[in-house]
Structure 1
Amino acid sequence: MNAHPHGSLVRVLHNLGGTLLDAVHGGARDSAAIGGIVIHDPVEDSVPPAHALVLGVGLREPEEIARLLGELGRRRAVALVVRAPVTPDARVKTAAEESGVGVLGLTPGASWVQVAAMLRAVVAEGDVGGPDTLGGTLSGDLFALANAIAALIDAPVTIEDRHSRVLAFSGQQHKADASRTETILGRQVPERFSRMLRSRGVFRDLYRSDGPVDVPPLQNGSDGPTVPRVAIAVRAGDEAIGSIWAAVREPLSPERSQALRDSAKVVALHLLRLRAGADVERRLRADLVSTALEGRAGAREALSRLGLADHPVVVLALGLRDSVRGGVPSGADAGLTTEREHLADAFAMHLGAVHPHSAAALLGDTAYGLVPAVQDRDAGEERAVRTATDFLDRVGTRTAAVIGIGPIGGDAGGLAQARSGADRALRVLRAQSGERRVARLADVHVEALLCELRDIVAVRGDEPTGPIARLAAYDERRGANLIETLGAWLDAFGDISAAAAAVHVHPNTFRYRLNRLAEVGGIDLDDPEARFAAMLQLRVMPPR
């Protein structure tokens, strides 16, 4: 077992030090359990949890770093991570000593997002299933396991999933090559190497074989050939669930090959335990979020277990546009279900980076996020809009995802209303095809009311009446365009030129049609009540 304190800065440096992080100045709380991974935002006055590990994105100037260290010391943070190289400065050293907050340098080229995810993985090691051990290593502690394997075969190793994503890596990676460093920094085997491995049939041989597979050097551009690799599939029964890759400069001895085989079996147990634990944790969190959003008995307890009981909460509802869903019932399409799950996981990670006490879960075809609102009502909703917009910008337009934001729920009872508001805003966005991807209920309140009116009309089977019914019948008999003409005129607020351009006819032709529809429909276009009634019917129950 690893002797380093679980979830502490000492454990983080043991696993990631030398490759991603270097200790610049020690702190007074290095052995304390890390309370959360927080990204510092100089614009937002958010309060990090006690013993937080703070990522100082964009911090460069020693004066800024020293000032932030003083603030973090008062909030009992563990350490501050800044981009290396960190300029030696007496002010930073003094601030670190006085505040008790350590300073870590993040290696150049490493992505802040990837580092945040990797730090959370290290901090969460062993959370599932308590302090059990598998093969002498803390359950789920893949980094400790990678170091143990590296010691057995005397070679730096990575543990990867079926998609060549790095789950953990050992120390001594400097003994490998530049491609291994690039893989670890990106937490993913670079695509150019994946293509070469596929073209050589390495992945095919790897997942067909039960033993180690030798991988000859690959050409790495100007850096020359890579160090040879030995890889072995990690299996759970007949299913390959990952792999172990070792950078070796000479073939493994029979004893070390056998050690690698035995190690793959232990890694399989850990991966299965992590997979099962992740499924259990996801279901538990979904149950808690669902109970909290219902606002009935048990909501207060659910919020307490989520760490949200002492704050007003803003609810965000994430879903896909109706054009993507295509009328497919929830859960009926496997591809859409997988996409929703991946999107919900990314959403949860993003909210966790914004606020460590946020919670997110996929309920049906909607992912809900609960984020503490530390400001007043308007400021809290505006911050939620910025958070949602930033997430969708990162995801890109390929998912056609949209987010509705409800009013802030002040307590467990108000959370059901907040969820209803988020759902109503999301429904409006789902039905639209424009560029708007984020909206508060206040932004789309009228559209939401129209959606509810359409529901009532659909349930009762109401049909258009009065002038609209007469115009629709005339259009059907004569093949005319009077309904289209009326809609364009109402939308253009009576501007003949704009309305004619919208339906691509000459203004004189449009005037003729307008006069004709007034005669056929028996509608007084000078009467504001008649205009409103016509517009409402066209919005709520458009003729077939």
Structure 2
Amino acid sequence: MRHSRGSLGRVLDDLGATLLDLVHGDRDRAGEISGVVIHDPLDQPVLSPHALVLGVGVEDPEQIVGLLHALGRQRAAALVLRAPVALPDEVRSAADDAGVAVLGLSRGAPWSHLGEMLRSLLAEGAEREDSLGGLPAGDLFAVANAIASLLDAPVTLEDRASRILAFSGRQDEADPSRVETILGRQVPERISRILRERGVFRDLFRGDQPVVIDPIPDGKGGFTLPRVAIAVRAGDEVLGSIWAAVPGRLSPERDRALRESAKLVALHLLRVRAGADVRRRVRADLLGSALEGGAGAGEALERLGLAGRSLLVLGVGLVEHESVSAAAVHDLQRLGDAFALHLAAIDPRSAAAALGDVVYGLLPPTGADDKAGTRAERILQDFLDRVGDRLPAVAAAGPVALTLSGVAHSRSCVDRVLRVLREGRVGRRVGSLDELQGEALVIELRDLAAARGDEPTGALARLLDYDREHRTALVETLRAWLDAFGDVAAAAESVFVHQNTFRYRLRRVAEVGRVDLADPDQRFAAMLQLRVVRVGSTLEPPTDV
């Protein structure tokens, strides 16, 4: 029996044997899975009915029992634990009482890859209600299973970078390297290297005929099964490839079936891409309307499923954000997709989309509002840790928004903080306006001064003119002294001069600039000018004053 797209049975049909096993419970339990949520023991998320919960790090039977009872009260569909799963009687009894199935995630399979697979498998989309070639449009797992039946061999569908898009059943009939590929959702590098050396990718992507791959050493004294692969094309564009693990060469009939299958897979991949683009555009438009706080904000939040609740506005952006190259656009899209997945795992009601050079997220907070800011920064830091250096980014959290106008204000706070973080002067990657308001105000004053065309005046102008004429360093001296809060020893060390030399220069600052450094108002004025007004290009190296 083929289960509906969002059912637990469908998840096990497509991801079972290789990624997931049903450890205890009813696979045919009624109800569509509403979303995928990561369990956080320190701050438990609010679940929508029939959620699938990833129990990362949950292994103690007593902890499992308590979690099952909690999930039962929230009508969760299933709990995924790392295999092997301990199933004493109290765990079985708790699962039965809660009506929650228990699944085991195979050793070696990253939780993040499981989340991505589940997201792909359970993705909503009316665009998939029609069919292509007798299969639900865009349903790549159904396509992979259909091709596997035609070829009588386990099949994977891969993108151009050898990442797994979907796979068929019967993968246990293949070899350990195929299982490793699916667990890591990527062809292992040692296998890819051999394929490149043999010219397999060159032959695969240059032609439109099946390519036979002879067995490859598996690194454990054995060899893989032979493979047959074919590129999936849309005109001149290569969308991906089909790989089948076969015991020998295909018969003419199956060879023809594989070539015809490549055309069908191309239609499905184009449909997936089109559907993803449409969903991304619609969601970005709705999120933009909600963040602007105008007349359409209420309707936009309604359509996003976030109306009538307090919201956290979060933002992430690439550190290098001014480029308009194709690579920069692609990186921002990748950042947006990763951020959407990260938030969806925390709360399926969340929304995320890229607007301009920032990826914004709306997330319903859990717990007391006065703790929401701390939790938001922890969520953002966890996200940046996950993407690491692959996508160098900064992240900001706005205040909790209780009204439509509050959402727009919170978005404004996020933008202000991201500007501060991108300048790199505060030495951090995550922040909020509560902590960085001073720095944000300085940047905004700098913008205002630039817009007015303000130039240095008074004491600062006199010092700049003297430095240019006599090749001295009085402006540098004043800046160092102010930055060190009047500590001559620290200031002298920062500019690499002796303290006596620094004191002499400081006296010259007062004389030349006609500034009273003992007057707090004059000190503040000088500090503000140095921070806000453009002082020109770097001066020549100083001579002795």
Identity rate, percent: 59
Q: CA deviation digits over 1:477-521, x for unaligned, max 9?
A: 111100000011111111111010011000000010001110110
| Residue 435, structure 1, aligned to residue 434, structure 2 | no
Counterpart-to-counterpart distance in 1, 2:334 and 2:27 = 39
Q: 2:53 maps to what in 1?
A: 54
| Residue 420, structure 1, aligned to residue 412, structure 2 | yes
Q: 2:72 maps to what in 1?
A: 73
Correspondence 1:327-406 to 2 at 5 A: 328=323, 332-406=324-398
Mean alpha-carbon deviation: is it higher for 283-292 or for 141-150?
141-150
Q: 2:11 maps to what in 1?
A: 12
SS at match of 1:318: strand
Following TM superposition, by how much is the alpha carbon of 1:339 offset from its aligned partner in structure 2, in angstroms? 1.4
1:447 corresponds to which of 411, 429, 439: 439
Counterpart-to-counterpart distance in 2, 1:398 and 1:508 = 48
Counterpart-to-counterpart distance in 1, 2:245 and 2:425 = 50
Q: 1:113 maps to what in 2?
A: 112
2:514 corresponds to which of 518, 522, 526: 522
| Residue 502, structure 1, aligned to residue 473, structure 2 | no
Following TM superposition, by how much is the alpha carbon of 1:169 offset from its aligned partner in structure 2, in angstroms? 0.6
Partner amino acid for 2:107? P
Following TM superposition, by how much is the alpha carbon of 1:135 offset from its aligned partner in structure 2, in angstroms? 1.0
| Residue 309, structure 1, aligned to residue 307, structure 2 | yes
Counterpart-to-counterpart distance in 1, 2:427 and 2:157 = 41
Q: 2:256 maps to what in 1?
A: 258
Partner amino acid for 1:278? A
TM-score (norm 2): 0.96
1:533 corresponds to which of 522, 525, 528: 525
Counterpart-to-counterpart distance in 1, 2:391 and 2:160 = 23
Correspondence 1:5-404 to 2 at 5 A: 5-27=4-26, 30-124=29-123, 127-321=125-319, 324-325=320-321, 328=323, 332-404=324-396
Following TM superposition, by how much is the alpha carbon of 1:28 offset from its aligned partner in structure 2, in angstroms? 8.3
Following TM superposition, by how much is the alpha carbon of 1:376 offset from its aligned partner in structure 2, in angstroms? 3.0
Partner amino acid for 1:370? L
Following TM superposition, by how much is the alpha carbon of 1:19 offset from its aligned partner in structure 2, in angstroms? 1.2
Counterpart-to-counterpart distance in 2, 1:406 and 1:88 = 43
For the 8 Å contact 1:77–1:101, the answer to whether it is kept is: yes
Counterpart-to-counterpart distance in 2, 1:284 and 1:442 = 32
Mean alpha-carbon deviation: is it higher for 100-109 or for 394-403?
394-403
Change (3 A) 1:259 1:55: same
Counterpart-to-counterpart distance in 1, 2:53 and 2:351 = 19
Point out 4+ residue stretches in structure 1 off by more than 6 angstroms: none
Counterpart-to-counterpart distance in 1, 2:126 and 2:465 = 66
Partner amino acid for 1:115? L
Counterpart-to-counterpart distance in 2, 1:456 and 1:29 = 64
Partner amino acid for 2:231? A
Following TM superposition, by how much is the alpha carbon of 1:287 offset from its aligned partner in structure 2, in angstroms? 0.1
Partner amino acid for 2:115? A
Q: How many residues align?
A: 536
For the 8 Å contact 1:178–1:223, the answer to whether it is kept is: no
Counterpart-to-counterpart distance in 2, 1:245 and 1:36 = 30
For the 8 Å contact 1:29–1:101, the answer to whether it is kept is: no
Counterpart-to-counterpart distance in 2, 1:93 and 1:397 = 43
The gaps in structure 2 that reach 5 residues or longer are: 537-545
TM-score (norm 1): 0.96
For the 8 Å contact 1:29–1:78, the answer to whether it is kept is: no
Partner amino acid for 2:312? V
Mean alpha-carbon deviation: is it higher for 276-285 or for 85-94?
85-94
Q: CA deviation digits over 1:387-423, x for unaligned, max 9?
A: 1111111111353311122111112221110000000
Partner amino acid for 1:500? A
For the 8 Å contact 1:405–1:426, the answer to whether it is kept is: no
Following TM superposition, by how much is the alpha carbon of 1:378 offset from its aligned partner in structure 2, in angstroms? 3.0
For the 8 Å contact 1:27–1:96, the answer to whether it is kept is: no
For the 8 Å contact 1:146–1:170, the answer to whether it is kept is: yes
SS at match of 1:529: helix
SS at match of 1:530: helix
For the 8 Å contact 2:8–2:27, the answer to whether it is kept is: no
Partner amino acid for 2:404? A
1:488 corresponds to which of 477, 480, 483: 480
Q: CA deviation digits over 1:238-262, x for unaligned, max 9?
A: 2111111000012111111111111
Q: 1:473 maps to what in 2?
A: 465
Counterpart-to-counterpart distance in 1, 2:44 and 2:93 = 24
Following TM superposition, by how much is the alpha carbon of 1:298 offset from its aligned partner in structure 2, in angstroms? 1.1
CA RMSD of aligned residues (A): 1.4
The gaps in structure 1 that reach 5 residues or longer are: none
Mean alpha-carbon deviation: is it higher for 487-496 or for 367-376?
367-376
Q: CA deviation digits over 1:365-404, x for unaligned, max 9?
A: 1111111122333311111100111111111135331112
Q: CA deviation digits over 1:287-318, x for unaligned, max 9?
A: 01100000011111111111211321111121
For the 8 Å contact 1:28–1:100, the answer to whether it is kept is: no
For the 8 Å contact 2:9–2:28, the answer to whether it is kept is: no
Q: CA deviation digits over 1:135-168, x for unaligned, max 9?
A: 1111111111111111111100001111111111
For the 8 Å contact 1:318–1:404, the answer to whether it is kept is: yes
For the 8 Å contact 2:109–2:184, the answer to whether it is kept is: yes
For the 8 Å contact 1:318–1:368, the answer to whether it is kept is: yes
Counterpart-to-counterpart distance in 2, 1:83 and 1:29 = 22
Following TM superposition, by how much is the alpha carbon of 1:434 offset from its aligned partner in structure 2, in angstroms? 5.0
For the 8 Å contact 1:27–1:97, the answer to whether it is kept is: no
